[in-house]
Structure 1
Amino acid sequence: MPQYPNRQFLDFEQPIKTLYEEIDKLKQTAEKSKIDMSDSIRKLEDAIDDKRKDITSHLTPWQRVQLSRHPDRPYTLKYIEKMTTAFMELYGDRNVKDDKAMVGGFAQLDGETVMFIGQQKGSNTKMRQLRNFGMPNPEGYRKALRLMKLAEKFNKPIVTLIDTPGAFPGLEAEERGQGEAIARNIYEMMRLKVPVICVIIGEGASGGALGIGVGDKILMMENAWYTVISPENCSTILWRSWEKKEVAAEQLKLTATNMKNFGLVDEIVPEPAGGAHWDYAGAAELMKISILRALAEVKQVAPDTRISNRINKFCKMGFWDEL
């Protein structure tokens, strides 16, 4: 059996898979012949590290989109598990039901109680269906708002982890007020008296992301993307085909670097070499450092000033000319 990790490799990650297969062959040879192959194996392991760094240093926007969707990439609950202790998940919007695509609850972050809220995708077919592929219904956004108000009541900071291809577009979601639920969250998050830190950890698409995306500091992971529409849907609208998705990804300017240059995010959170899917603990530690730094900065500001700054921050976004 292969000794490389039981993971999926994207097209541009194939050179890494080849190196793992070479290591596997050396280990099998060493086992059969009783010859010490440790030096050769160590060199190949170093080559894997170098290749991971090399690949992620030359990624196109579309390749970053692919990395953000990597099936082995950590999701919200994994980050919470790695970053925090004593996580207590809270359920339900107290109106319709509990939306499994939106999770949240109190946890201890470096000794401080913090409310974590985020979209959650599934790691296998059954869980993807249960989590609705990370696409919340209105009750998911209403649950998120309930938890934000609970955090505000007890004066606890809020951290949201954004990872969604968009809010669920189904007829039943529209019937229950999908647009109103997202708009209400944006309105209420502007006025929260407690610190709010938002982190885009994977896909940040459309109103589905904005529904939990208003905060004092917006952080974005290195291989995440953030835009009004997915490259595939953009390609479908403009060219009537998905074949132009790579062109759409380039033109949408959706990468973390683009977002930072536009002033839409405040900080880019680095990822382990090759992407967060190679090192869950390492990715969580890098994110934790950025969150703690952002929280420390925001806490220095009085609540009323913080709300005013938050409103001004979002009102100033974008580029326009007045005639």
Structure 2
Amino acid sequence: MAPQHQLPFEKPVYELEEQLSKLEAEPNPTPAIQDSIRRMRVELTQLTREIYENLNPWQIVQVSRHPERPQTADYIELVFDEFVELHGDKAFGDDRALITGFAKLDGRKVMLVGHQKGRTLKERNECLYGCAHPEGYRKAMAKMEMASRYGLPIVCLIDTPGAYPGIGAEERGQAYNIAVNLRDMSTLEVPVVCVVIGEGGSGGALGIGIGDHVAVLKNAYYSVISPEGCAGILWKHSSHADKAAGALRFTSSDLVDLGIIDEVIGEPLGGAHRNHRQMAMTLKGALAEAVQSLEGIPKDELLDRRYERFRRIGVFEETGAA
């Protein structure tokens, strides 16, 4: 049965899969049918690889927003051995758009912080599609500071189009709380590993994105603004989002070239939404390796490296005539 949500460029893959399923369902396949099945499997692999290795920036945005793409809650179940959720900011309430708690990664205790968009309509209304309020960022920072006191590494999973832009959020200090997080995360005395697992939009992503090792999944994006927001500013209409996506240079390959991130984490053939378990195993290995590589670094050196890492972003040299 074909998935409910198919992206336009994925349709040839699903059509071929449907043909293959019909052949495989034959009760008494002849040698000719078995041969066709083998050829079709090879063709399907080649077609999927060709499509996904040549996605344009706007198509990558569509993949990063796929409703079936694994979210933080999925990775909690598939990547971490144990998880104890911690709620509330001790000031206003508990923001469901940000999940925080103690977890075990490959036998190592860590503090997990991650955006959650929600699956069902009820969950999405609670999580606001991963758009956190000020209380969410206060909660995240309080839990990260606790992890620092206990000497626990921190893992942040980023997946948000941006912080919630509502009036209430602004009245309660949205910009201020994100700025506090940027300042205070830079002084945490434990390793911080950040991974953009879907969307990495603006200050909403940066609010939990100041780390020693920043990685992006292959079909995720990390940007100062969403394509629709950029299109609204530059071309006065969100219908130009595909053009804005190309101009922003926010894909994983662009981010490596620009020195914004440290690592691109590969996805299963056809994207993370087509194989949650395989994606989780890949992410688990990448997280464990990153945390292990940072654990032996002295605190002073860790802080200096983190500071210099972000100071370097945006620095460039001009050559030739001005």
Please state which band the TM-score falls in when normalised by the shorter chain.
Answer: over 0.9
- Mean Cα deviation higher: 42-51 or 53-62: 42-51
Q: What pairs with 1:302-313 in structure 2 (closer than 5 Å)?
A: 302-313=298-309
The corresponding residue for 1:132 is 128
Residue aligned with 2:315, SS: coil
Report the Cα distance in structure 2 between the residues aligned to 1:25 and 1:212, rounded to whole angstroms: 47
Q: What pairs with 1:18-29 in structure 2 (closer than 5 Å)?
A: 18-27=15-24
Identity percentage over the alignment?
A: 43
Report whether the alignment pairs 1:203 with 2:199. yes
Of 264, 267, 271, which aligns to 1:268? 264
**1:290 Cα deviation from its structure 2 partner:** 1.5
Aligned residues: 317
Report the Cα distance in structure 2 between the residues aligned to 1:92 and 1:39, rounded to whole angstroms: 59
Report whether the alignment pairs 1:300 with 2:303. no
Residue aligned with 1:103, SS: strand
**Which amino acid counterpart does residue 265 of structure 1 have in structure 2?**
I
RMSD over aligned Cα atoms:
1.7
Q: State TM-score, norm by structure 2.
A: 0.94
**1:167 Cα deviation from its structure 2 partner:** 0.1
**1:19 Cα deviation from its structure 2 partner:** 1.0
Structure 1 segments unaligned to the other structure (5+ residues): none
Of 27, 41, 44, which aligns to 1:45? 41
Report whether the alignment pairs 1:170 with 2:166. yes
The corresponding residue for 1:114 is 110
1:151–1:158 contact (8 Å) kept in structure 2: yes
Q: What pairs with 1:172-251 in structure 2 (closer than 5 Å)?
A: 172-251=168-247
Report the Cα distance in structure 2 between the residues aligned to 1:52 and 1:126, rounded to whole angstroms: 33
- Mean Cα deviation higher: 135-144 or 273-282: 273-282
The corresponding residue for 1:14 is 11
1:61–1:250 contact (8 Å) kept in structure 2: yes
**1:295 Cα deviation from its structure 2 partner:** 1.3
Report the Cα distance in structure 2 between the residues aligned to 1:23 and 1:220, rounded to whole angstroms: 33
Report the Cα distance in structure 1 between the residues aligned to 2:123 and 2:198, rounded to whole angstroms: 18
Report the Cα distance in structure 2 between the residues aligned to 1:320 and 1:183, rounded to whole angstroms: 25
Report the Cα distance in structure 2 between the residues aligned to 1:144 and 1:242, rounded to whole angstroms: 32
Report whether the alignment pairs 1:143 with 2:139. yes
The corresponding residue for 1:72 is 68
**1:41 Cα deviation from its structure 2 partner:** 3.5
**1:43 Cα deviation from its structure 2 partner:** 3.6
Residue aligned with 2:219, SS: coil
1:182–1:211 contact (8 Å) kept in structure 2: yes
